[in-house]
Amino acid sequence: MEILDEITGKDYEFGFTTNIESEKIPAGLNEEIIRVISAKKNEPSWLLDWRLEAFKIWQGMNEPEWAHVHYTKPDFQAISYYSAPKSKPKYNSLDEIDPEMRKTMDRLGISMDEQKRLNGIAVDFVMDSVSVATSFKEKLAELGIIFCSISEAVQEHGDLVRKYLGTVVPRTDNFYAALNSAVFTDGSFCYIPKGVRCPMELSTYFRINEAGTGQFERTLLIADEESYVSYLEGCTAPQRDENQLHAAVVELVAMEKAEIKYSTVQNWYPGDKDGNGGVFNFVTKRGLCDGYKSKISWTQVETGSAVTWKYPSCILKGDYSVGEFYSVAVTNHFQQADTGTKMIHIGRNTHSTIISKGISAGHSNNSYRGLVQINSSAKNARNFSQCDSLLMTDTSGAHTFPYIEVNNSSAQVEHEATTSKIGEDQIFYCLQRGLDEEQAISMIVNGYAKEVLNKLPMEFAVEAQKLLAISLEGSVG
Amino acid sequence: MIEIKDLKASIGEKEILKGLNLVVKPGEIHAIMGPNGSGKSTLASVLAGREDYEVTGGEVVFNGKNLLEMAPEERAREGLFLAFQYPVEIPGVSNMNFLKAAVGEVRKHRGEEALSAKDFLALVKEKSALVELDGQLAHRAVNEGFSGGEKKRNEVFQMAMLEPKLAILDETDSGLDIDALRIVAQGVNAMRSPERSFIVITHYQRLLDYIVPDVVHVLYKGRIVKTGTKELALELEEKGYDWIKETVA
């Protein structure tokens, strides 16, 4: 269909840069750099040792090549591993925030204003290497909830960080996880105490601003027994011709009967329509359902990045624990995504659900890669997977790589997969009722992704719908 | 309302409409009958603006405007409605949201204000009753999991919501049992007005017992070869199409 072949492309909305003086250490990666980072953050010696060990592990590893993506490997010596806005790195009140920074937040639609949003969302804002502001901290503290940057947590809740850091994603896990462990600079930390239901959405907003930097954030979220938390993260970056590296690690721990709902709207700069620039998004996210009847649910809407390599996973260790993965991944122009999940069933009667919706437009490539592993101990484990792919053009690709390993005969594993081309009949039907092509595509695509979008917190669901429409605007013509 | 002159259209190399002439005045119902492959559905698709067909000659004037120059959505907004022979399913998109967007566009085009949620719901209630459509169906995804009869009733329901000037019913009777046929016809009849015209495309005379046409045409090999009153339909029912074919030959 003609309209789908036209690639015009709407400009990336968040491609601006902020003129904030920043302190950036020289490019390069070696033990000395790691010592500098650790010293700048005034870290205890255990953490410096932990980093140095990770660096050694990383040096002995090779960059993974098994993913269905092609890119020029980053030059790790050309990246600056620490960049922080120069003015006061952490603000005590909103009035202190640098006006330029304030403007950035406004343009990104982040409200740090607690007065105006009493029932709103608590936000931790991370720009380049550091967390610059966290809202609602006091209010949350009244319930015993700790929500702060991980740097702050290292200082003030060192024991908790030390106890859990690297327990879900060990330093040896993979090349990027090892790199992140060596050089991570900030990220969010959250602890929900026993029996507490977190009364508001917790959210971290990540922003890469400086050129020639990478972002290596680390998030650690612990839900103690019978607690509940819904957490969401958003990300954007300026438009640059170079590729920027983002290698994050997210670790979640859910104890007995605890529930964690983790949502991501990923909108890193995807590169221009000819495939220049864009963020390399190489992320390791994993949750441990440690306790009986614990539950972890990942929801992701992936529209950004030039290359995405990301598999938010669940280790279902506790009996009757539940893991869920809901994903919409959109690729346009020359974007490449290799994303999916791993559900590792260890406990008895563990259940997992995977719903993945890929949408490929332009010349992009979109792959689902997922592992369902039922260990011999996982009696009566059940999994249901559904992987759908929607092709918008003849020049885009959709691929599905499901891996299923079953070592217990009482397990039930179901896998369904479909690939369809966006229906010309569907579009014509909409046109005949008076809708224009953009409305038609937006409606059809949002309908297709609805099962996943419904899992997002209300406020984000609306954002995500708009984002889907914007991301695909180019493919409609 | 609509004036079609010497219309020629092909799909790929194959010419299907070979000089078709038809004039429908406001308030009239015209039935178009004909054997399989005569070009009935092609005519409906060409008028609605489907890209698969190439118009190679002739002209179509719709309410004083050149229809063939308009994009499909403009034709719809100008008041041309096609009830599809095979309505498509759009998973995940609720009938209500779909109609809300469609009604919104059509009203905007007419320079009318957007309906409030309350007025819209009242309209849905009124119009869905016309085709005895269960209130639940309005909330389900567009045509998803609908039976054949429900899909056709949904088409007529959408037509009632959009209040077109000219409605083309493309074999709306196919696959309907007698009760569904009666309900669909009742919906169409309720919409008859001196300002609204219909082109009813059908293979069988049966539908015309319920929707009584002012004029009946026979389409054969891409041209209208015979025009008459509703009695022509009865004659076709009795004799089949062979005698027409012989006459033309």
CA–CA separation, A275 vs A336, rounded Å? 10
Confidence of residue A422 (pLDDT cuts 50, 70, 90): confident
Cβ-contact A211, A120 below 8 angstroms: no
- pLDDT tens per residue across span B54-63: 999 999 999 9
Q: Identify residue A307 by its one-letter amino acid code.
A: V
- The verdict on residue A216 lying in a domain is yes
Q: Read off the tokens for B96.
A: 């209500």
**Contact residues, B window 22-51, toward A, CB-based 8 Å cutoff:** 48-51
CA–CA separation, B211 vs B32, rounded Å? 13
Whether residues B92 and A451 touch (CB distance < 8 A) is answered with yes
Q: How far is B237 from chain A, CA to nearest CA, in Å?
A: 32
In this structure, of B1-10, B67-76, B131-140, the range with the lowest mean pLDDT score is: B131-140
- The verdict on residue A310 lying in a domain is yes
Confidence of residue B248 (pLDDT cuts 50, 70, 90): confident
| DSSP code, position B16 | E
Whether residues B77 and A430 touch (CB distance < 8 A) is answered with no
* pLDDT at residue A115, rounded to an integer: 40
- The verdict on residue A477 lying in a domain is no
Q: Read off the tokens for A145.
A: 């909830």
- The verdict on residue A424 lying in a domain is yes
Q: Identify residue A64 by its one-letter amino acid code.
A: P
CA–CA separation, A33 vs B184, rounded Å? 76
Cβ-contact B145, B88 below 8 angstroms: no
Enclosing domain of residue A323: 2-471
In this prediction, what percent of chain A has a pLDDT beyond 70?
80
At what angle are helices B117-130 and B178-190 packed, to 10 degrees?
A: 130
- The verdict on residue A476 lying in a domain is no
- The verdict on residue A59 lying in a domain is yes
* pLDDT at residue A118, rounded to an integer: 34
**Cβ contacts of A323 within 8 Å, gap of 6 or more:** A287, A289, A295, A296, A297, A313, A314, A316, A343, A350, A351, A352, A353
Averaged pLDDT of chain A: 83
- The verdict on residue A137 lying in a domain is yes
Q: How far is B42 from chain A, CA to nearest CA, in Å?
A: 15
Q: Which residues of B touch A469 (CB under 8 A)?
A: none
CA–CA separation, B232 vs B218, rounded Å? 9
**φ, ψ (nearest 5 deg) of residue A444:** -65, -45
* pLDDT at residue A11, rounded to an integer: 57
- pLDDT tens per residue across span A147-161: 888 988 999 999 999
Whether residues A446 and B98 touch (CB distance < 8 A) is answered with no
**Cβ contacts of A138 within 8 Å, gap of 6 or more:** none
- pLDDT tens per residue across span A345-385: 999 999 999 999 998 888 888 899 999 999 999 999 999 99
- pLDDT tens per residue across span B196-225: 999 999 988 889 999 999 999 999 999 999
State how beta strands A382-391 and A313-316 pair.
Answer: unpaired
Substitution target in A432, A451, A452 with the highest count of B β-carbons within 10 Å is A432
Confidence of residue A97 (pLDDT cuts 50, 70, 90): low
Total number of domains constituting chain A: 1
Q: How far is B235 from chain A, CA to nearest CA, in Å?
A: 34
- The verdict on residue A430 lying in a domain is yes
Cβ-contact B186, B169 below 8 angstroms: no
CA–CA separation, B117 vs B235, rounded Å? 49
